Amino acid sequence: MKKWYKLDNAAKLFPSVTNTKNTSVYRISAVLTNPVDVDALQQAADTVFDRFPMFTVKLRRGVFWNYLESSTDKIVIAEDQQYPCRNIDPTTNNGYLFKVLYYKNRVSVEVFHALTDGNGAVEFLKSLLYYYLMYMGHEIDTEDRILLADSGVDIHDMEDAFRRYYKDCYVESVRNSRAYHIKGTAFEQFGNNVVHGVVSASQLNALAKQKGSTITAYLSALLSYSIYQTRIKYSKSNAPVVIAVPVNLRKAFPSRTLRNFFGVVNLGARITEDTTLDELIFRMNEMLKYKTGKENLQNIIYNNVALERNKATLFVPLFLKNWFVNLGFHMLGESKRTLTLSNIGNIMLPQQMYKHVELIEALVYPSNKSPMNCGISSVNDKLVITFTRNIVESDILQYFFSTLAGEAGLEVKIYSNDWGISE
């Protein structure tokens, strides 16, 4: 008899708002020092299968809620031949909502967000790489940094941590104005262009600290400033630039869950000709510090779970729930942010694995209202800033990276998938 699971609180949003232009599919990739051996990668995928039951599920539609049903079908790995963060078609993927892809030296995991957040995807990728390297003949001491296939599944891996940490509390409602939205020309052939910028993580961290800031706040400020200098400055808009920053709730609310457990905080600013970058960095850092405080994150958990706990919604048919969720997503989510900047942080690997991994990349899918989004990750002191976009214009990216290299004085290495770029 097949097992079934409720979607976690955050997961319930994604099936309702997903379409071909808002796929809800993100990617975590590891760039290795040597080309990928396909047979060893398939062996690794077979080995980790039982350790991640929250991945090996199929999405089913109920009368009142979607749910996940366990499956024993094989994880199929495939060569990466298209643009990243495409809509995942379960019919070509053994019904699964994630993919394991390879291309030259790169191993990628693409995940439909209803399954897990960036933390869960990173843990899966780490286990996959560990067993891949083992099958390639490398001996690696795990240092308790890898979820091993023979360790069994812990009940805490499967918990809905939103429910665990939910508590009734007073929440003050603030009516925010619409954010500035980036406009652009869609690629002639629909797809996602990806531009990666690699910098020294330690040098960027030192620069941010010099400004009294964190890396996330510093880059959020620089990105906001770049949008103003390239777009808003030459328009009549006075809308604020709002950077949506996903926050790993596990840091404030201890949990080992491999399902979704994140919240989103918005860092917004109305920028004028008189606003300096240093001023913006200070404001973003103070805002981020406040909004990631435990009390504010508790409010986020409350807001996320309260509607689900409302008895009036229990027996509303799924098709009506989908309509209301989709409406709320566009009115209260998409319209209130300019873009998303997701920093999954420094990836901690066993020491003996570092020499096999050049880079870790994090790709955040674009959407209709946010045609460009940013993912950040680091390993081996190499921090990768990745922009994924579905529009031709690259002015914001050029200003951002040139400022990082010029005024900030960092060495920036740029590479791209060149999607939509004419020869």
Q: Which is it for strands 57-61 and 66-70: parallel, antiparallel or unpaired?
A: antiparallel
Per-residue pLDDT at 294 exceeds 50: yes
Structure tokens at 378: 């680091």
- Dump pLDDT digits (tens) for 243-279: 999 999 999 999 999 999 999 999 999 999 999 999 9
Given a contact cutoff of 8 angstroms between Cβ atoms, the answer to whether 111 and 97 are in contact is yes
- Dump pLDDT digits (tens) for 75-129: 999 999 999 999 998 888 899 999 999 999 999 999 999 899 999 999 999 999 9
pLDDT the model gives residue 22: 87
Nearest CA among 302, 325, 250, 390 for reference residue 14: 325
Q: What is the dihedral of CA 128, 134, 137, 138, to 10 degrees?
A: 100
Given a contact cutoff of 8 angstroms between Cβ atoms, the answer to whether 217 and 281 are in contact is yes
- Dump pLDDT digits (tens) for 165-196: 887 665 545 566 789 999 999 999 999 999 99
Name the β-bridge partners of 194: 388
pTM comes to 0.92
Q: What is the rounded average pLDDT for all residues in the chain?
A: 89
> What's the rounded Cα separation, in Å, for the pair 77 and 48?
13
